[in-house]
Amino acid sequence: MPAYYSFTSVINSLLAEPQASLLNGILFGVRGNIPKSLYQALIDTGTLHIIALSGMNITILANLTAKITLFLGRKASSILTISLIVLFVWFVGTSPSVVRAAIMGSLSLLAVYFGRQYYGLLALFLTSLIMILFDFSLINNLSFQLSFLATLGIILANRFSVRQVKSGPLGQFISIFKENLKLTVSAQILTLPVILYNFKRISLIAPLANLLVEWAIQPIMVLGFVTGVLGFIWKPLGLIPAWFAWVPLTYLITVIEWLAKIPGASINF
């Protein structure tokens, strides 16, 4: 029985459907109970990756933990964050995309610990090469391919761009919007050939869909983990964070289902 099974049961008892199934998908990659209509909407809008253990969970966990523990000092924060990454991998399982993200995240934190420069592109290729040498079949693993290409797209977009942060709340919002759009489009451009080859489908609405739902993923993950942990200790303790988690979950479901109904949102080949 998976380590997270008890937590999925707690979430199922504290949240209604389809919010409970979506939360379990985002946190643990469990997608068996997600309604077929919602699952298809995720495919049509190019947002299926949010319920897959794509490594995004590791990135969010590492960034959040590093910020929270920064007061402990650079080295202590790095060690604690690496420990939590290892614990998370043990908890959710060693899928290729999670392992890749865990290794890269740990390398970046080790660079911080030793005061060295971190090279994301080098870390990506080095990590992927080591994993392939241990298991050559990963070359044909779809999850590994998509995770690698999406990460490569984000790294390249960050590397060859010049950020211009404008003053004022509106200017900052526009700058953040442009940055997120650039990263989203870059990741999707590099993964497009693999998606077309394997699924014979392209989502034209994917860039907009990902922009609209991206902000909700981190609060959903944080509130979801709090719900699972507190509910596991004593079920009534999980009620309040579950209520708060219901709000972004419902927003996410509403946006995805609405965008999926737009004519031409997804094209089959």
Based on the fold, state whether residues 40 and 66 are members of the same structural domain: no
Based on the fold, state whether residues 198 and 87 are members of the same structural domain: yes
Q: Any idea which residue has 């709090």 for tokens?
A: 226
Based on the fold, state whether residues 191 and 211 are members of the same structural domain: no
d(CA 189, CA 182): 11
d(CA 104, CA 124): 7
Contact 41, 257 (CB under 8 A): yes
Based on the fold, state whether residues 86 and 142 are members of the same structural domain: yes
pLDDT reported for residue 170: 64
Between 206-233 and 56-68, two packed helices, what is the crossing angle to 10 degrees? Answer: 60
pLDDT reported for residue 84: 87
Q: Which of 161, 180, 203 is the last residue of a domain?
A: 203
What CA–CA distances, in Å, run from 106 to 82, 116, 226? 6, 13, 24
Helix (H) or strand (E) holding 25: helix 19-28
Based on the fold, state whether residues 70 and 172 are members of the same structural domain: yes
Q: Which of 180, 203, 226 is the last residue of a domain?
A: 203
pLDDT reported for residue 164: 58
Both structure tokens of 231: 């509910």
Based on the fold, state whether residues 62 and 160 are members of the same structural domain: yes
Beta bridge partners of residue 156, listed in sequence order:
none
Based on the fold, state whether residues 138 and 58 are members of the same structural domain: yes
pLDDT reported for residue 243: 95
**What global pTM score does this model have?**
0.81
Question: Total domain count for the chain?
Answer: 2
Q: Any idea which residue has 């290794």 for tokens?
A: 103
Based on the fold, state whether residues 129 and 251 are members of the same structural domain: no
Both structure tokens of 190: 């590099």
Domain assignment of residue 265, given as a range = 1-46+205-269
DSSP 8-state symbol, 236: G
Based on the fold, state whether residues 115 and 234 are members of the same structural domain: no
Based on the fold, state whether residues 104 and 195 are members of the same structural domain: yes
Q: Which of 147, 173, 203 is the last residue of a domain?
A: 203
Is beta strand 266-268 parallel, antiparallel or unpaired with respect to 201-203? Answer: antiparallel
Based on the fold, state whether residues 195 and 209 are members of the same structural domain: no
Based on the fold, state whether residues 75 and 173 are members of the same structural domain: yes
What are the mean pLDDT values of the chain's consecutive 10-residue runs (269 residues total)?
74 93 86 86 86 73 82 88 87 81 89 87 92 92 85 82 60 69 80 83 87 88 90 91 96 95 85
